[in-house]
Amino acid sequence: QVKLVESGGGSVQPGGSLRLSCAASDPISSTTTLGWFRQPPGKQREFVAAIFRNNAGRIVYSDSVKGRFTVSRDKAGNAVILQMNSLKPEDTAVYYCARDDRLISSSLRLPDQYDYWGQGTQVTVSS
């Protein structure tokens, strides 16, 4: 069973930055897609960003975070990083990383298409 462990959440003022990390227990292959989702209070889980097929495909962002968030792989290769800058109160949510090893590009924004999930980490943006 693949495990994903997130870290790096916390509280920050508007305009601040946070860096989330998600470490995978199993090696990432050329077909692995790593994604970030979030669930704001009282709302459904929504897509944030993804590295499709280990970057051989592309990196995709939701419109709400484009230009402020950056997703990348760490140098060791088994973790995905979400750098969040210019944070806004509406970014407040529980953030989850997700992994799938057979995803197709048309499904990468759909949470029910991912097989493995982290436990989630809280991000709170408030003054």
- pLDDT means over runs of 10, the chain (127 residues): 91 98 88 94 96 78 97 84 97 97 89 95 97
The predicted pLDDT at position 53 comes to 80
- Please report the sign of the dihedral spanned by the C-alpha atoms of residue 113, residue 109, residue 6, residue 11: negative
The predicted pLDDT at position 19 comes to 97
Residue 53 sits at φ, ψ, to 5 deg, of 50, 55
The predicted pLDDT at position 71 comes to 94
The predicted pLDDT at position 56 comes to 64
Q: What does the block give as tokens for 99?
A: 């992994």
The predicted pLDDT at position 55 comes to 64
Distance CA 49, CA 117 (A): 14
The predicted pLDDT at position 73 comes to 87
Tally of CB atoms within 10 A around 50: 27
First to last CA, the chain: 40
The predicted pLDDT at position 111 comes to 95
57 CA to centre of own chain: 17
